[in-house]
Amino acid sequence: MKRVITYGTFDLLHYGHINILRRAKELGDYLIVALSTDEFNSQKKGKVTYFSYEQRKLLLESLRYVDLVIPEENWEQKVEDIKLYKVDTFVMGDDWKGKFDFLKDYCEVVYLPRTPEISTTQIKKDLFEQNLSGDKTK
């Protein structure tokens, strides 16, 4: 069985997330998603999520591409996760290209192209701007 792992916050789940999870799953038989905890997001990533960890986990677990969701609690856990879950392929979006090449000592590292026209950051920005302007047409 070929195991694949990816990491992320996956807040405001959208079709860009689905695309990367689908393509990650196509690289193996079993997809593990390491989901950033609320504490990790706020303290280390400087992110505030709309949905809690438990809500985001529930959403991910409902997707047919995802076999297991585990907590991502720190930047350093990746090597440990790869060993523990016997991972064959590590997958991230290409906006991280080169940042995880050190993991090639443990497994294959693949950077997948992101869906260019969508991001959680852009969704949040658009919603904020709509709220300020009172424009509800977008």
Task: Tell me, rounded to whole angstroms, the distance of Cα 60 from its chain centroid.
Answer: 10
Residue 70 near residue 37, CB atoms below 8 Å: no
* Range list of H helices, 1-138: 15-26, 38-40, 53-61, 78-84, 120-133
pLDDT at 123: 77
In tens, the pLDDT along 107-133 reads 999 999 988 777 777 777 777 777 777
pLDDT at 136: 60
Task: For residue 30, report the phi and psi dihedrals to the nearest 5 degrees.
Answer: -140, 120
